[in-house]
Structure 1
Amino acid sequence: MLRRRMLIMLGIVVIVVLALGGYKAFSIYKQIQQFTAPKPPINITVAIVEERAWQSRLPAIGSLKALQGVNLSLEVAGTVKALQFESGQKVKLGQPLLQLDSDVEKALLGTAEADLGLAQVDYARGSKLVGDSAISRGEFDKLAASQKKAAATVAQLNASLAKKRILAPFSGTIGIRQVDVGDYLASGTVIATLQDLSSLYADFFVPEHVLPKLAIGQQVQVSVAAYPERIFKARISAINPKVEDATRNVQVRATLPNPEGKLLPGMFANLQVMLGQDTRELVLPESSITYTLYGNSVYVVVPKNGADGEPEKNDKGEQQLAVERRFVETGERRGGLVIISKGLKAGEQVVTGGQLKLDNGTHVAISADQEVPVEQSNQPRVD
């Protein structure tokens, strides 16, 4: 009886061991099938390497300045009697802007003009008497000096009266008023700013080694943060004849028209100086380049070959694709594009999205709506 029980228990143990062994063998088989089964292709986006016209440009940064711009201030102290402008008003050359109290100077001028009139009468009478030898030459000279002194006093008071008012030194747009009627102003007090916005200067610096590439009249494209969708055209109007000792840079000035008055002095500007003629270059989107310490590389889409070296095809008879990592030399970048100077040929397909999932020889599939040529998107409008 005991032997029978032992045999039954031994049979049960053998059955359990065989079941566990079979389950483990089945699991190993499934894993082997999973790893040996061909992996599905990774979906990628690509761009076609294009050869296109490319004009060399020199990037720079600068600031805008008014063609003419001043802070209107007083030469003499006084109390504001009248303000003849409004903030933001456009004014003409010679237009009165401010008048200080000048009653005292006007009264003194009246006295001086009366003295001048008397001196002129005495001089005219004396010129006749000296001709008749009724007065001496010395007395006549005193009369002439008195007339000149009175005329000088009148001129001096007229000049003082002129300093009691401010006239627009040129046509332009006046800024925000800083004073009010009745204010007592010391000499040198700024009442407002006046800017001629018909044209602007764009001042910027360039390294000294690019100086031979610059010339008067060269075209410059200007863009500002206030109008990112627009590019304004300017031309180089002056090149400083001195290199800055501290930076070894040269100051350059470009002039750009501003008929709409949208650009304002003091704006930060990004500039592109046009250099030379267009050249033919291979270009790619910057997103396709992988930058590393060992060099810049891209993934190029190529036909996938089998172990026998023959191209592989899927069950639909279509050519299967893989990627090949290729190191390239890059050049100037602009507008989201980069020049490829070495490593690629025109017409090749380069991966622009999904590079993190790829390795050399990875099986890939191109998304049907993503195989597009290189384009510069969202380019600003050139005025």
Structure 2
Amino acid sequence: MKRAAFLIFALVVFAAMAVAVLIRSMTGEDDVANGWGGGGVPVEVSPVETREFVDIVEALGTAGANEGVTITAKVSDTISRINFDSGDYVEEGRILVELASAEEAAGLNEARATLREAEREMTRIRDLTERGVAPQSRQDEVLAVLERARARVSQIEARVADHIIRAPFSGIIGLRHVSPGELVGPGDAIARLDDTSVIKLDFTVPERFLSVLAEGMQVEARTSASEQTFTGEIARIDSRVDPVTRAVTVRALIDNEDGELRPGQLMTVEVRRDERQRPAVPGSALTRYGNEVFVFVLTQTERGTSVERRLIEPGIRINGMIEVLSGLEVGERIVSEGVHRVSEGMPVTVADEAPASPNGAGSATTSSGGVR
């Protein structure tokens, strides 16, 4: 009897639950509880905007001077005069250092005196030869002496010139390493001269990017010493690929008239290519199923606002925005937050809608050391 009473009680409870479920489904209470009724599931919405995307090849490079040379002496002698200070800007041809040349100066005076004497003798013999008093052979002998005297003067003048060190081009002098009275010889560093009006920025990229690089492409570079972005363009691509690193060296030229950059600085380089305008959506709006990517697009139905699952082809990402290659049109509204709570055809309520960007523009980059 107890078992029969228990079974009857259980049947009554089950029947009551079934009736309650039926009543709730008929009155729509389940829809309200699950968000299908009472306006639908609350979601945040964003419009599909047009943004500017660009592929960027990133690399590290080293800044170099347009022209750079270490100032050295051609001969061994003591420094008699230094005509520059460290950090000076010097024009091409300016005398930087003078070496002692008293011995050469004396030899030059002697050679010039010998030359003047040979010229007077040549004038006298030519007159005698024209009058037939002196033979032609005598004139030839004096002419040879005159030519040797001229060569001697030129030789000593060249040696004297070697004692005067001039700037081979205009630029900035670095720290000097010598003092007046110091003995210097060939190869001894006196100072460094750099023309920094243009910076040669050399950087390397993997050989697989050779197909996307070309002379004339724009580059942007930055240093840790400044927040400024420096722009330039690719001037040369090396003719060889390093067989060890499998990388190629690229040289870009950057205008540096303001002197912000210095040779030797480490710079991060971005090579911009393939600038384009494409639809873009927030990364939070994407859902993935296997290799497919979907977004939920808002649609209007008889029951109100609902969502439609749309397959898209994504591109690159920048600052949380995803490039859309296909599947969406500019102006469509998509679910940007709350995608995990919705499904195909479900009614939704717009809880918040992100405003469109004022210009709808942005830029996308590529991965470090390559294309992102």
What's the TM-score bracket when you normalise by the shorter of the two chains? Answer: 0.5 to 0.7
- Aligned-residue offset at 1:103: 0.7
Equivalent residue, structure 1, for 2:76: 77
1:261 aligns with 2:259: yes
Equivalent residue, structure 2, for 1:234: 232
Equivalent residue, structure 2, for 1:251: 249
Per-residue deviation, residues 32-90 of structure 1 (Å, max 9, x unmatched)? xxxxxx9xxxxxx9988755221222222211111111111111111111010011011
1:52–1:283: 8 Å Cα contact kept in structure 2? no
Change beyond 3 A, Cα 1:215–1:115: same
Change beyond 3 A, Cα 1:343–1:69: same
Per-residue deviation, residues 147-179 of structure 1 (Å, max 9, x unmatched)? 111111111111111111111111111111111
Write the distance in 1 (CA, Å) between the matches of 2:188 and 2:340: 73
Equivalent residue, structure 2, for 1:116: 115
The 3-state SS of whatever aligns with 1:123 is helix
Per-residue deviation, residues 325-377 of structure 1 (Å, max 9, x unmatched)? xx9987545567665779999754556xxxxxx99669xxx999x96878999
Q: 2:270 aligns with which of 269, 272, 297?
A: 272
1:76–1:188: 8 Å Cα contact kept in structure 2? no
2:315–2:323: 8 Å Cα contact kept in structure 1? yes
Write the distance in 1 (CA, Å) between the matches of 2:62 and 2:281: 31
Per-residue deviation, residues 160-211 of structure 1 (Å, max 9, x unmatched)? 1111111111111111111111111121111111111211111222333433
Equivalent residue, structure 2, for 1:98: 97
Structure 2 residues not aligned, in runs of 5+: 1-32, 34-43, 306-310, 343-349, 365-372
Which structure has more relative contact order (CA 8 Å, sep 6+)? It is 2
Write the distance in 1 (CA, Å) between the matches of 2:45 and 2:83: 66
1:193 aligns with 2:192: yes
Which amino acid is 1:199 matched to? V
Mapping of residues 138-217 of structure 1, within 5 Å = 138-217=137-216
The 3-state SS of whatever aligns with 2:226 is coil
The 3-state SS of whatever aligns with 1:262 is coil
Write the distance in 1 (CA, Å) between the matches of 2:351 and 2:66: 54
Change beyond 3 A, Cα 1:121–1:84: same
Equivalent residue, structure 1, for 2:3: none
Change beyond 3 A, Cα 1:210–1:281: farther
Which amino acid is 1:282 matched to? A
2:50–2:278: 8 Å Cα contact kept in structure 1? yes
Equivalent residue, structure 1, for 2:27: none
Cα RMSD for the two superposed structures? 4.2
Write the distance in 2 (CA, Å) between the matches of 1:296 and 1:198: 52
Write the distance in 1 (CA, Å) between the matches of 2:184 and 2:111: 27
Per-residue deviation, residues 226-257 of structure 1 (Å, max 9, x unmatched)? 113x2111012222233333333332221111
Mapping of residues 127-142 of structure 1, within 5 Å = 127-142=126-141
Aligned residues between the structures? 310
Write the distance in 1 (CA, Å) between the matches of 2:320 and 2:260: 27
Equivalent residue, structure 1, for 2:346: none
